[in-house]
Amino acid sequence: MEVLTIILQILLGITSLLLTLLILMHKGRGGGLSDMFGGGMSSGLASSGVAERNLNRFTIILGLTWGIVIIALGLIMRLTSVGDS
Amino acid sequence: MLSAIGRAFRTPDLRRKLLFTLGIITIFRLGAFIPAPGVNYANVRQCLDPSVTGEQTGIYQLMNLFSGGALLQVSIFALGIMPYITASIIVQLLRVVIPRFQELYEEGAAGQSKLTQYTRYLTIALGLLNATTLVSLVRSGQLFPNCQLPIIPDQSIITTLLVVITLTAGTGLIMWLGELVTEKGIGNGMSLLIFTSIVAAFPTALGAIWTSKGPGTFFVVLAIGLVTTALVIFVEQSQRRVPVQYAKRMIGRRTVGGTSTYIPIKVNMAGVIPVIFASSMLYLPALVAQFNTPTDGSPIPGWVEWINNNLTRGDHPIYMAIYFAMIIFFTYFYVAITFNPEEVSDNMKKYGGFIPGIRAGKPTADYLQYVLSRITLPGALYLGIVALIPLVALVLVNANQNFPFGGTSILIMVGVGLETVKQIDAQLQQRHYEGLLR
Protein backbone atom coordinates (compact mmCIF):
# COMPACT_ATOMS: atom_id res chain seq x y z
CA MET A 1 0.00 0.00 0.00
CA GLU A 2 2.76 2.39 0.92
CA VAL A 3 4.60 1.96 -2.35
CA LEU A 4 1.39 2.64 -4.21
CA THR A 5 0.84 5.81 -2.20
CA ILE A 6 4.31 7.09 -2.96
CA ILE A 7 3.94 6.31 -6.65
CA LEU A 8 0.62 8.08 -6.74
CA GLN A 9 2.03 11.08 -4.91
CA ILE A 10 4.88 11.40 -7.37
CA LEU A 11 2.41 11.05 -10.22
CA LEU A 12 0.24 13.75 -8.66
CA GLY A 13 3.15 16.15 -8.38
CA ILE A 14 4.15 15.63 -12.00
CA THR A 15 0.61 15.89 -13.38
CA SER A 16 -0.08 19.02 -11.33
CA LEU A 17 2.97 20.78 -12.70
CA LEU A 18 2.27 19.66 -16.26
CA LEU A 19 -1.37 20.66 -15.98
CA THR A 20 -0.44 24.15 -14.85
CA LEU A 21 2.03 24.48 -17.70
CA LEU A 22 -0.43 23.22 -20.31
CA ILE A 23 -3.14 25.57 -19.10
CA LEU A 24 -0.76 28.48 -19.31
CA MET A 25 0.04 27.47 -22.89
CA HIS A 26 -3.56 27.97 -23.93
CA LYS A 27 -4.57 31.26 -25.43
CA GLY A 28 -6.57 33.31 -23.02
CA ARG A 29 -10.20 33.58 -24.01
CA GLY A 30 -11.92 35.41 -21.24
CA GLY A 31 -11.74 39.11 -21.87
CA GLY A 32 -10.71 39.79 -18.31
CA LEU A 33 -12.77 41.63 -15.81
CA SER A 34 -14.23 44.28 -18.07
CA ASP A 35 -16.85 42.01 -19.59
CA MET A 36 -17.56 40.23 -16.35
CA PHE A 37 -20.64 41.20 -14.41
CA GLY A 38 -22.53 42.78 -17.22
CA GLY A 39 -20.10 44.27 -19.64
CA GLY A 40 -20.61 44.16 -23.37
CA MET A 41 -21.14 41.08 -25.45
CA SER A 42 -17.82 39.72 -26.52
CA SER A 43 -17.65 36.86 -28.92
CA GLY A 44 -14.09 36.49 -30.01
CA LEU A 45 -13.24 34.85 -33.25
CA ALA A 46 -12.97 31.20 -32.33
CA SER A 47 -9.87 30.12 -34.19
CA SER A 48 -9.18 26.60 -33.07
CA GLY A 49 -6.32 25.31 -35.10
CA VAL A 50 -4.90 21.83 -34.97
CA ALA A 51 -2.37 22.82 -32.32
CA GLU A 52 -5.04 24.26 -30.09
CA ARG A 53 -7.24 21.20 -30.52
CA ASN A 54 -4.40 18.84 -29.63
CA LEU A 55 -3.57 21.00 -26.66
CA ASN A 56 -7.19 20.75 -25.56
CA ARG A 57 -7.07 16.97 -25.86
CA PHE A 58 -3.86 16.71 -23.84
CA THR A 59 -5.23 19.02 -21.17
CA ILE A 60 -8.42 16.99 -20.84
CA ILE A 61 -6.51 13.71 -20.52
CA LEU A 62 -4.10 15.21 -18.01
CA GLY A 63 -6.94 16.77 -16.04
CA LEU A 64 -8.72 13.43 -15.86
CA THR A 65 -5.55 11.67 -14.68
CA TRP A 66 -5.04 14.38 -12.11
CA GLY A 67 -8.57 13.96 -10.75
CA ILE A 68 -8.35 10.15 -10.68
CA VAL A 69 -5.02 10.21 -8.85
CA ILE A 70 -6.42 12.58 -6.23
CA ILE A 71 -9.50 10.42 -5.72
CA ALA A 72 -7.35 7.30 -5.47
CA LEU A 73 -5.10 8.95 -2.88
CA GLY A 74 -8.15 10.03 -0.90
CA LEU A 75 -9.58 6.50 -1.01
CA ILE A 76 -6.31 4.94 0.14
CA MET A 77 -6.09 7.43 3.00
CA ARG A 78 -9.62 6.75 4.11
CA LEU A 79 -9.18 2.96 3.92
CA THR A 80 -5.95 3.01 5.92
CA SER A 81 -7.36 5.35 8.54
CA VAL A 82 -10.38 3.05 8.93
CA GLY A 83 -7.99 0.13 9.30
CA ASP A 84 -6.07 1.92 12.04
CA SER A 85 -8.98 2.78 14.24
CA MET B 1 -41.26 31.56 -20.80
CA LEU B 2 -41.44 27.77 -20.66
CA SER B 3 -41.93 27.50 -24.41
CA ALA B 4 -38.85 29.67 -24.86
CA ILE B 5 -36.83 27.23 -22.77
CA GLY B 6 -38.18 24.36 -24.83
CA ARG B 7 -37.26 26.16 -28.00
CA ALA B 8 -33.78 26.80 -26.66
CA PHE B 9 -33.28 23.09 -26.18
CA ARG B 10 -34.72 22.24 -29.57
CA THR B 11 -32.19 24.42 -31.36
CA PRO B 12 -29.25 22.06 -31.90
CA ASP B 13 -26.53 24.68 -31.72
CA LEU B 14 -27.91 26.34 -28.62
CA ARG B 15 -28.63 22.99 -26.99
CA ARG B 16 -25.02 21.96 -27.42
CA LYS B 17 -23.83 25.20 -25.83
CA LEU B 18 -26.24 24.95 -22.91
CA LEU B 19 -25.37 21.31 -22.20
CA PHE B 20 -21.66 22.10 -22.43
CA THR B 21 -22.04 24.92 -19.92
CA LEU B 22 -24.05 22.71 -17.58
CA GLY B 23 -21.42 19.97 -17.86
CA ILE B 24 -18.60 22.35 -16.93
CA ILE B 25 -20.62 23.64 -13.98
CA THR B 26 -21.13 20.05 -12.82
CA ILE B 27 -17.39 19.35 -12.98
CA PHE B 28 -16.74 22.56 -11.08
CA ARG B 29 -19.18 21.63 -8.32
CA LEU B 30 -17.88 18.04 -8.12
CA GLY B 31 -14.34 19.32 -7.68
CA ALA B 32 -15.48 21.47 -4.77
CA PHE B 33 -16.29 18.28 -2.86
CA ILE B 34 -13.11 16.29 -3.50
CA PRO B 35 -10.74 16.89 -0.59
CA ALA B 36 -7.17 17.81 -1.42
CA PRO B 37 -4.66 14.98 -0.94
CA GLY B 38 -3.44 14.59 2.63
CA VAL B 39 -6.50 16.29 4.07
CA ASN B 40 -8.43 14.28 6.60
CA TYR B 41 -11.97 14.70 5.40
CA ALA B 42 -13.65 13.35 8.52
CA ASN B 43 -11.86 15.91 10.70
CA VAL B 44 -12.78 18.72 8.32
CA ARG B 45 -16.41 17.67 8.51
CA GLN B 46 -16.32 17.79 12.29
CA CYS B 47 -14.63 21.16 12.30
CA LEU B 48 -17.18 22.58 9.87
CA ASP B 49 -20.03 21.60 12.16
CA PRO B 50 -21.22 24.91 13.62
CA SER B 51 -21.99 23.34 16.99
CA VAL B 52 -18.26 22.66 17.42
CA THR B 53 -16.79 25.85 15.99
CA GLY B 54 -19.50 28.33 16.90
CA GLU B 55 -19.76 31.55 14.92
CA GLN B 56 -17.17 31.71 12.17
CA THR B 57 -14.95 34.73 11.86
CA GLY B 58 -15.34 37.01 8.90
CA ILE B 59 -11.90 36.99 7.33
CA TYR B 60 -12.42 34.02 5.07
CA GLN B 61 -16.12 34.67 4.60
CA LEU B 62 -15.88 36.39 1.23
CA MET B 63 -13.34 33.94 -0.13
CA ASN B 64 -15.46 31.06 1.07
CA LEU B 65 -18.46 32.63 -0.62
CA PHE B 66 -16.64 32.90 -3.93
CA SER B 67 -15.46 29.31 -3.81
CA GLY B 68 -18.90 27.97 -2.92
CA GLY B 69 -17.87 26.63 0.46
CA ALA B 70 -14.90 24.79 -1.03
CA LEU B 71 -12.33 26.87 0.85
CA LEU B 72 -13.31 25.78 4.33
CA GLN B 73 -13.57 22.19 3.12
CA VAL B 74 -9.98 22.38 1.85
CA SER B 75 -11.00 20.72 -1.40
CA ILE B 76 -8.98 20.68 -4.62
CA PHE B 77 -10.87 23.75 -5.88
CA ALA B 78 -10.49 25.45 -2.51
CA LEU B 79 -9.14 28.69 -3.93
CA GLY B 80 -11.97 29.02 -6.39
CA ILE B 81 -11.89 31.91 -8.83
CA MET B 82 -10.60 34.41 -6.32
CA PRO B 83 -7.00 34.39 -7.67
CA TYR B 84 -8.30 35.10 -11.17
CA ILE B 85 -10.50 37.92 -9.93
CA THR B 86 -7.66 39.44 -7.96
CA ALA B 87 -5.31 39.09 -10.93
CA SER B 88 -7.79 40.78 -13.26
CA ILE B 89 -8.33 43.61 -10.80
CA ILE B 90 -4.59 44.10 -10.42
CA VAL B 91 -3.97 44.12 -14.17
CA GLN B 92 -6.83 46.58 -14.66
CA LEU B 93 -5.42 48.86 -11.97
CA LEU B 94 -1.88 48.61 -13.32
CA ARG B 95 -3.15 50.21 -16.51
CA VAL B 96 -3.27 53.47 -14.60
CA VAL B 97 0.23 53.07 -13.21
CA ILE B 98 2.20 51.39 -16.01
CA PRO B 99 2.00 53.18 -19.37
CA ARG B 100 2.93 49.98 -21.24
CA PHE B 101 -0.28 48.29 -20.06
CA GLN B 102 -2.37 51.25 -21.21
CA GLU B 103 -0.64 51.07 -24.61
CA LEU B 104 -1.42 47.38 -24.87
CA TYR B 105 -5.02 48.02 -23.93
CA GLU B 106 -5.43 50.64 -26.62
CA GLU B 107 -3.80 48.44 -29.23
CA GLY B 108 -7.01 46.48 -29.69
CA ALA B 109 -7.52 42.76 -29.81
CA ALA B 110 -3.84 41.74 -30.07
CA GLY B 111 -2.75 43.88 -27.15
CA GLN B 112 -5.68 42.85 -25.04
CA SER B 113 -5.00 39.17 -25.55
CA LYS B 114 -1.49 39.89 -24.32
CA LEU B 115 -2.98 41.53 -21.24
CA THR B 116 -5.14 38.44 -20.73
CA GLN B 117 -2.01 36.34 -20.92
CA TYR B 118 -0.37 38.46 -18.22
CA THR B 119 -3.52 38.04 -16.14
CA ARG B 120 -3.24 34.26 -16.49
CA TYR B 121 0.40 34.19 -15.36
CA LEU B 122 -0.49 36.44 -12.45
CA THR B 123 -3.39 34.12 -11.57
CA ILE B 124 -1.08 31.14 -11.23
CA ALA B 125 1.35 33.19 -9.17
CA LEU B 126 -1.42 34.40 -6.89
CA GLY B 127 -2.82 30.88 -6.73
CA LEU B 128 0.56 29.62 -5.53
CA LEU B 129 0.66 32.40 -2.94
CA ASN B 130 -2.89 31.78 -1.74
CA ALA B 131 -2.32 28.02 -1.61
CA THR B 132 0.77 28.49 0.55
CA THR B 133 -1.12 30.83 2.85
CA LEU B 134 -4.05 28.45 3.12
CA VAL B 135 -1.87 25.44 3.82
CA SER B 136 0.16 27.28 6.46
CA LEU B 137 -3.08 28.49 8.05
CA VAL B 138 -4.36 24.93 8.11
CA ARG B 139 -1.10 23.60 9.53
CA SER B 140 -0.96 26.15 12.32
CA GLY B 141 -4.62 25.49 13.07
CA GLN B 142 -5.73 29.05 12.37
CA LEU B 143 -8.31 28.15 9.75
CA PHE B 144 -10.55 26.74 12.44
CA PRO B 145 -9.45 28.56 15.62
CA ASN B 146 -11.91 26.65 17.80
CA CYS B 147 -11.19 23.21 16.41
CA GLN B 148 -8.16 21.23 17.50
CA LEU B 149 -8.47 18.21 15.20
CA PRO B 150 -5.59 17.84 12.72
CA ILE B 151 -6.77 18.75 9.21
CA ILE B 152 -3.59 17.54 7.54
CA PRO B 153 -2.34 14.70 9.77
CA ASP B 154 0.91 14.21 7.89
CA GLN B 155 3.05 17.27 8.67
CA SER B 156 6.01 16.37 6.45
CA ILE B 157 7.41 18.84 3.93
CA ILE B 158 6.59 16.57 0.97
CA THR B 159 2.89 16.36 1.78
CA THR B 160 2.70 20.10 2.33
CA LEU B 161 4.37 20.79 -1.00
CA LEU B 162 2.07 18.32 -2.70
CA VAL B 163 -1.02 20.04 -1.33
CA VAL B 164 0.26 23.44 -2.43
CA ILE B 165 1.01 22.20 -5.95
CA THR B 166 -2.36 20.50 -6.21
CA LEU B 167 -4.26 23.59 -5.07
CA THR B 168 -2.37 25.70 -7.60
CA ALA B 169 -3.17 23.25 -10.38
CA GLY B 170 -6.81 23.35 -9.25
CA THR B 171 -6.83 27.14 -9.60
CA GLY B 172 -5.43 26.81 -13.10
CA LEU B 173 -8.01 24.20 -13.98
CA ILE B 174 -10.85 26.45 -12.80
CA MET B 175 -9.47 29.25 -14.92
CA TRP B 176 -9.40 26.96 -17.93
CA LEU B 177 -12.93 25.71 -17.27
CA GLY B 178 -14.13 29.30 -17.17
CA GLU B 179 -12.41 30.08 -20.43
CA LEU B 180 -13.91 27.01 -22.04
CA VAL B 181 -17.38 28.21 -21.09
CA THR B 182 -16.66 31.66 -22.49
CA GLU B 183 -15.41 30.11 -25.70
CA LYS B 184 -17.74 27.22 -26.36
CA GLY B 185 -20.61 27.67 -23.97
CA ILE B 186 -22.90 30.54 -23.23
CA GLY B 187 -22.23 33.62 -21.16
CA ASN B 188 -18.99 34.64 -19.51
CA GLY B 189 -17.40 31.61 -17.91
CA MET B 190 -15.77 33.31 -14.94
CA SER B 191 -18.88 35.11 -13.82
CA LEU B 192 -21.00 31.99 -14.37
CA LEU B 193 -18.69 30.00 -12.10
CA ILE B 194 -18.92 32.65 -9.38
CA PHE B 195 -22.68 32.61 -9.84
CA THR B 196 -22.70 28.82 -9.39
CA SER B 197 -20.67 29.02 -6.20
CA ILE B 198 -22.94 31.63 -4.68
CA VAL B 199 -26.16 29.88 -5.65
CA ALA B 200 -24.77 26.60 -4.31
CA ALA B 201 -24.40 28.17 -0.87
CA PHE B 202 -28.05 29.24 -0.79
CA PRO B 203 -29.92 26.10 0.29
CA THR B 204 -27.59 25.47 3.24
CA ALA B 205 -27.78 29.06 4.43
CA LEU B 206 -31.57 29.14 4.14
CA GLY B 207 -31.84 25.78 5.86
CA ALA B 208 -29.67 27.07 8.70
CA ILE B 209 -32.00 30.02 9.18
CA TRP B 210 -35.06 27.73 9.14
CA THR B 211 -33.64 25.43 11.80
CA SER B 212 -32.11 28.09 14.04
CA LYS B 213 -34.71 30.88 13.87
CA GLY B 214 -37.91 29.14 12.88
CA PRO B 215 -40.24 29.63 9.90
CA GLY B 216 -41.21 33.22 10.83
CA THR B 217 -37.74 34.68 10.39
CA PHE B 218 -37.22 32.43 7.39
CA PHE B 219 -40.12 33.99 5.50
CA VAL B 220 -39.11 37.51 6.55
CA VAL B 221 -35.63 36.84 5.18
CA LEU B 222 -37.08 35.41 1.99
CA ALA B 223 -39.36 38.43 1.52
CA ILE B 224 -36.50 40.88 2.10
CA GLY B 225 -34.43 38.92 -0.39
CA LEU B 226 -37.11 39.01 -3.07
CA VAL B 227 -37.75 42.73 -2.65
CA THR B 228 -34.01 43.45 -2.80
CA THR B 229 -33.67 41.34 -5.93
CA ALA B 230 -36.50 43.25 -7.62
CA LEU B 231 -34.91 46.58 -6.68
CA VAL B 232 -31.51 45.45 -7.88
CA ILE B 233 -32.93 44.33 -11.22
CA PHE B 234 -34.70 47.66 -11.58
CA VAL B 235 -31.55 49.68 -10.99
CA GLU B 236 -29.34 47.38 -13.07
CA GLN B 237 -31.60 47.86 -16.07
CA SER B 238 -31.95 51.61 -15.80
CA GLN B 239 -29.79 53.79 -17.99
CA ARG B 240 -29.61 57.31 -19.31
CA ARG B 241 -29.68 57.54 -23.08
CA VAL B 242 -27.59 60.34 -24.49
CA PRO B 243 -28.84 60.94 -28.05
CA VAL B 244 -26.29 60.85 -30.85
CA GLN B 245 -26.99 62.01 -34.39
CA TYR B 246 -24.85 60.72 -37.22
CA ALA B 247 -24.36 62.92 -40.27
CA LYS B 248 -25.17 61.52 -43.67
CA ARG B 249 -22.10 60.81 -45.75
CA MET B 250 -21.49 59.40 -49.19
CA ILE B 251 -19.00 56.57 -49.38
CA GLY B 252 -18.69 55.57 -53.00
CA ARG B 253 -22.25 55.25 -54.26
CA ARG B 254 -23.80 54.46 -50.90
CA THR B 255 -25.17 56.81 -48.32
CA VAL B 256 -23.88 55.99 -44.88
CA GLY B 257 -25.14 57.29 -41.59
CA GLY B 258 -27.93 59.75 -41.10
CA THR B 259 -29.20 57.63 -38.25
CA SER B 260 -29.82 58.73 -34.72
CA THR B 261 -28.86 56.42 -31.88
CA TYR B 262 -27.91 56.88 -28.26
CA ILE B 263 -25.08 56.17 -25.89
CA PRO B 264 -26.46 54.14 -23.00
CA ILE B 265 -24.99 55.27 -19.70
CA LYS B 266 -26.02 52.85 -17.00
CA VAL B 267 -26.81 54.11 -13.54
CA ASN B 268 -24.59 51.46 -12.10
CA MET B 269 -21.83 51.22 -14.63
CA ALA B 270 -19.26 49.67 -12.32
CA GLY B 271 -21.24 46.54 -11.51
CA VAL B 272 -20.27 44.75 -8.33
CA ILE B 273 -16.58 45.41 -8.65
CA PRO B 274 -16.53 48.32 -6.15
CA VAL B 275 -18.18 46.10 -3.55
CA ILE B 276 -15.66 43.32 -4.08
CA PHE B 277 -12.84 45.86 -3.91
CA ALA B 278 -14.09 47.51 -0.75
CA SER B 279 -14.67 44.28 1.10
CA SER B 280 -11.30 42.83 0.18
CA MET B 281 -9.63 46.08 1.28
CA LEU B 282 -11.48 46.01 4.59
CA TYR B 283 -10.21 42.51 5.31
CA LEU B 284 -6.65 43.82 5.29
CA PRO B 285 -6.72 45.57 8.70
CA ALA B 286 -8.25 42.50 10.30
CA LEU B 287 -5.52 40.36 8.78
CA VAL B 288 -2.79 42.75 9.98
CA ALA B 289 -4.32 42.74 13.44
CA GLN B 290 -4.34 38.97 13.48
CA PHE B 291 -0.66 38.78 12.60
CA ASN B 292 0.22 41.35 15.25
CA THR B 293 -1.68 39.74 18.07
CA PRO B 294 0.97 38.41 20.44
CA THR B 295 0.65 34.72 21.12
CA ASP B 296 2.80 34.61 24.26
CA GLY B 297 0.25 36.32 26.46
CA SER B 298 1.86 39.78 26.53
CA PRO B 299 -0.60 42.72 26.40
CA ILE B 300 -2.16 43.48 23.04
CA PRO B 301 -1.00 46.80 21.51
CA GLY B 302 -3.58 49.57 21.63
CA TRP B 303 -4.03 49.97 17.88
CA VAL B 304 -4.56 46.24 17.40
CA GLU B 305 -7.26 46.32 20.02
CA TRP B 306 -8.86 49.32 18.33
CA ILE B 307 -8.90 47.43 14.99
CA ASN B 308 -10.31 44.37 16.66
CA ASN B 309 -13.06 46.40 18.26
CA ASN B 310 -13.99 48.63 15.35
CA LEU B 311 -12.95 47.08 12.06
CA THR B 312 -13.43 43.35 12.29
CA ARG B 313 -17.08 43.29 13.24
CA GLY B 314 -19.53 43.97 10.45
CA ASP B 315 -22.16 45.50 12.70
CA HIS B 316 -20.02 48.31 14.05
CA PRO B 317 -20.93 51.85 12.86
CA ILE B 318 -17.34 52.78 12.06
CA TYR B 319 -16.95 49.67 9.91
CA MET B 320 -20.18 50.44 8.07
CA ALA B 321 -19.20 54.07 7.49
CA ILE B 322 -15.77 53.13 6.11
CA TYR B 323 -17.31 50.41 3.96
CA PHE B 324 -19.87 52.81 2.53
CA ALA B 325 -17.30 55.53 1.83
CA MET B 326 -14.97 53.04 0.17
CA ILE B 327 -17.69 51.72 -2.10
CA ILE B 328 -18.54 55.24 -3.27
CA PHE B 329 -14.89 56.00 -3.89
CA PHE B 330 -14.29 52.78 -5.82
CA THR B 331 -17.43 53.27 -7.89
CA TYR B 332 -16.14 56.60 -9.17
CA PHE B 333 -12.67 55.16 -9.55
CA TYR B 334 -13.80 52.18 -11.58
CA VAL B 335 -16.17 54.18 -13.79
CA ALA B 336 -13.30 56.56 -14.51
CA ILE B 337 -11.16 53.60 -15.59
CA THR B 338 -13.72 51.88 -17.78
CA PHE B 339 -15.50 54.79 -19.47
CA ASN B 340 -13.31 57.40 -21.06
CA PRO B 341 -15.40 60.36 -22.30
CA GLU B 342 -12.58 61.77 -24.41
CA GLU B 343 -12.17 58.46 -26.23
CA VAL B 344 -15.90 58.21 -26.87
CA SER B 345 -16.13 61.77 -28.16
CA ASP B 346 -13.09 61.19 -30.39
CA ASN B 347 -14.70 58.11 -31.85
CA MET B 348 -17.94 59.95 -32.44
CA LYS B 349 -16.12 62.75 -34.21
CA LYS B 350 -14.33 60.26 -36.45
CA TYR B 351 -17.59 58.77 -37.69
CA GLY B 352 -19.40 62.07 -38.00
CA GLY B 353 -21.57 61.76 -34.94
CA PHE B 354 -22.57 64.50 -32.53
CA ILE B 355 -24.85 65.10 -29.61
CA PRO B 356 -27.58 67.54 -30.69
CA GLY B 357 -26.88 71.01 -29.29
CA ILE B 358 -23.29 70.33 -28.33
CA ARG B 359 -20.20 70.92 -30.43
CA ALA B 360 -18.00 67.99 -31.27
CA GLY B 361 -14.64 67.54 -29.60
CA LYS B 362 -13.89 68.88 -26.16
CA PRO B 363 -17.39 70.23 -25.36
CA THR B 364 -18.80 66.76 -26.06
CA ALA B 365 -16.26 65.12 -23.79
CA ASP B 366 -17.03 67.67 -21.07
CA TYR B 367 -20.74 67.08 -21.44
CA LEU B 368 -20.32 63.29 -21.25
CA GLN B 369 -18.13 63.69 -18.19
CA TYR B 370 -20.78 65.90 -16.59
CA VAL B 371 -23.60 63.41 -17.29
CA LEU B 372 -21.45 60.51 -16.16
CA SER B 373 -20.39 61.98 -12.84
CA ARG B 374 -23.94 63.11 -12.12
CA ILE B 375 -25.50 59.71 -12.87
CA THR B 376 -22.81 57.80 -11.00
CA LEU B 377 -23.75 59.48 -7.72
CA PRO B 378 -27.09 57.65 -7.31
CA GLY B 379 -25.39 54.54 -8.65
CA ALA B 380 -22.69 54.72 -5.99
CA LEU B 381 -25.20 55.43 -3.22
CA TYR B 382 -27.30 52.50 -4.40
CA LEU B 383 -24.31 50.17 -4.37
CA GLY B 384 -23.36 51.26 -0.90
CA ILE B 385 -26.88 50.77 0.45
CA VAL B 386 -27.31 47.37 -1.18
CA ALA B 387 -23.96 46.26 0.21
CA LEU B 388 -24.97 47.41 3.68
CA ILE B 389 -28.21 45.37 3.67
CA PRO B 390 -26.64 42.20 5.11
CA LEU B 391 -24.85 44.20 7.80
CA VAL B 392 -28.05 45.96 8.84
CA ALA B 393 -29.98 42.72 8.69
CA LEU B 394 -27.40 41.20 10.97
CA VAL B 395 -28.38 43.70 13.64
CA LEU B 396 -32.12 43.60 12.98
CA VAL B 397 -32.85 39.90 12.59
CA ASN B 398 -29.86 38.90 14.67
CA ALA B 399 -28.95 36.45 11.92
CA ASN B 400 -25.60 35.16 10.82
CA GLN B 401 -23.40 37.60 8.92
CA ASN B 402 -23.43 35.13 6.07
CA PHE B 403 -26.94 36.34 5.31
CA PRO B 404 -27.83 34.55 2.10
CA PHE B 405 -29.48 37.50 0.39
CA GLY B 406 -26.52 39.71 1.16
CA GLY B 407 -25.67 42.61 -1.08
CA THR B 408 -22.65 41.20 -2.87
CA SER B 409 -24.27 37.88 -3.67
CA ILE B 410 -27.48 39.46 -4.94
CA LEU B 411 -25.60 41.93 -7.10
CA ILE B 412 -23.49 39.20 -8.65
CA MET B 413 -26.43 36.85 -9.13
CA VAL B 414 -28.62 39.44 -10.78
CA GLY B 415 -25.81 40.82 -12.91
CA VAL B 416 -24.65 37.46 -14.20
CA GLY B 417 -28.17 36.05 -14.51
CA LEU B 418 -29.42 38.98 -16.58
CA GLU B 419 -26.39 38.88 -18.83
CA THR B 420 -26.62 35.14 -19.47
CA VAL B 421 -30.36 35.22 -20.13
CA LYS B 422 -29.83 38.12 -22.54
CA GLN B 423 -27.23 36.12 -24.44
CA ILE B 424 -29.45 33.04 -24.66
CA ASP B 425 -32.27 35.26 -25.82
CA ALA B 426 -30.12 36.89 -28.47
CA GLN B 427 -29.08 33.51 -29.84
CA LEU B 428 -32.66 32.32 -29.80
CA GLN B 429 -33.91 35.33 -31.71
CA GLN B 430 -31.15 34.90 -34.24
CA ARG B 431 -32.31 31.32 -34.87
CA HIS B 432 -35.95 32.15 -34.94
CA TYR B 433 -35.51 34.99 -37.36
CA GLU B 434 -33.42 32.84 -39.67
CA GLY B 435 -36.04 30.10 -39.55
CA LEU B 436 -38.76 32.53 -40.56
CA LEU B 437 -36.87 33.84 -43.53
CA ARG B 438 -36.20 30.48 -45.13
Q: DSSP state, B35? A: B
Residue A63: pLDDT over 80: yes
pLDDT confidence band for B325 (50 / 70 / 90): very high
Q: List B353's β-bridge partners, or say none.
A: B246
CB proximity list for B208: less than 8 A, separation 6 or greater? B50, B400
What is the predicted ipTM? Answer: 0.81
A27 touches chain B (CB under 8 A): yes
For chain B, give the percent of residues with pLDDT over 70: 81
pTM for the full predicted model: 0.77
Would the CB atoms of B415 and A38 count as touching at under 8 Å?
Answer: yes
Maximum average pLDDT range among B53-67, B171-185, B241-255: B171-185
CA distances, B331 to each of A75, B95, B130, B234, B417 (Å): 48, 17, 27, 19, 21
Q: Which fold has domain B1-200?
A: Preprotein translocase SecY subunit (1.10.3370)
Hey, is B435 helix, strand or coil?
A: helix
pLDDT band at B107 (very low <50, low <70, confident <90, very high): confident
CB of A79 within 8 Å of a chain B CB? The answer is no
pLDDT at B98 over 70: yes
Residue B251, beta-bridge partner list: B254
Residues B259, B354 contacting (CB under 8 angstroms): no
Under 8 Å CB pairs connecting chains A and B tally to 128
Contact B291, B301 (CB under 8 A): no
Top-confidence residue, B139 or B29: B29
Mean pLDDT of B207-228: 78
Q: What is the pLDDT of residue B407?
A: 67
Please report, to the nearest 10 degrees, the dihedral formed by the alpha carbons of residues B406, B411, B417, B418 taken in order.
140
CA B391-B381-B314 angle, 5° bins = 15
Q: What's the average model confidence in pLDDT over B345-353?
A: 84
Check residue B144 and give its pLDDT. 67
- pLDDT of residue B52 exceeding 50, the answer is no
Residue B20 has pLDDT above 90, yes or no: yes
d(CA A30, CA B431): 25
Question: CA of B295, closest CA in chain A: separation in Å?
Answer: 33
Residue of chain A whose Cα is closest to the Cα of B426: A41
Q: What tens digit of pLDDT does each residue of A17-57 get?
A: 999 998 888 776 554 444 444 333 344 444 556 777 788 88
Is residue B381's pLDDT more than 80?
yes
The β-bridge partners of B354 are B245
Q: What's the CATH code, domain B212-405? A: 1.10.3370.10
Q: Do A30 and B92 touch (CB under 8 A)?
A: no
Q: Quote the pLDDT of residue A83.
A: 52
Can you tell me the mean pLDDT for B93-105? 84
The mean pLDDT value for B39-57 works out to 63
The average confidence (pLDDT) of chain B is 78
User: Distance (Å) from the C-alpha of residue A43 to the closest C-alpha of chain B?
Assistant: 8
More confident residue, B334 or B315: B334
CB-based contact, B117 to chain A, within 8 Å: yes
Give me the pLDDT at residue B147, please: 66
Residue B323 has pLDDT above 80, yes or no: yes
Same fold, B1-200 and B212-405: yes
Chain B, residues 56-85, CB within 8 A of chain A, namely: 76, 85
C-alpha closest to that of B31 among B58, B84, B70: B70
Is it the case that residue B310 has pLDDT exceeding 80? no
Q: Sorting pLDDT into bands at 50, 70 and 90, what band is B436? A: very low
pLDDT of B38 reads 77
Contact list, B174 vs chain A (CB under 8 Å): none
What is the mean pLDDT of the segment spanning B292-308? 68
- Strand, coil or helix: what is B313? coil
Look at residue B195 and tell me whether its pLDDT is greater than 80.
yes
Provide the residue ranges of all domains of chain B, joining segments of one domain with +. Answer: 1-200, 212-405
Query: Which candidate, B426, B4, B428, B416, places its Cα nearest to that of B233?
Result: B416
* Region of poorest pLDDT, from B54-68, B109-123, B250-264, B337-351: B54-68
Helices H / strands E in chain B, number of each? 17, 5
- Give the orientation angle of helix B215-237 with respect to helix B189-213, to 10 degrees: 150
C-alpha dihedral sign at B348, B353, B355, B360: positive
| Contact in structure between B232 and B271 (CB atoms under 8 Å) | no
Look at residue B23 and tell me whether its pLDDT is greater than 90: yes
Contacts made by residues B338-345, CB under 8 angstroms, sequence distance 24+: B338/A34, B338/B269, B338/B270, B339/B265, B339/B269, B339/B372, B341/B365, B341/B366, B341/B368, B341/B369, B341/B372, B344/B263, B344/B368
Which has more confidence, B322 or B86? B322
d(CA B280, CA B133): 16
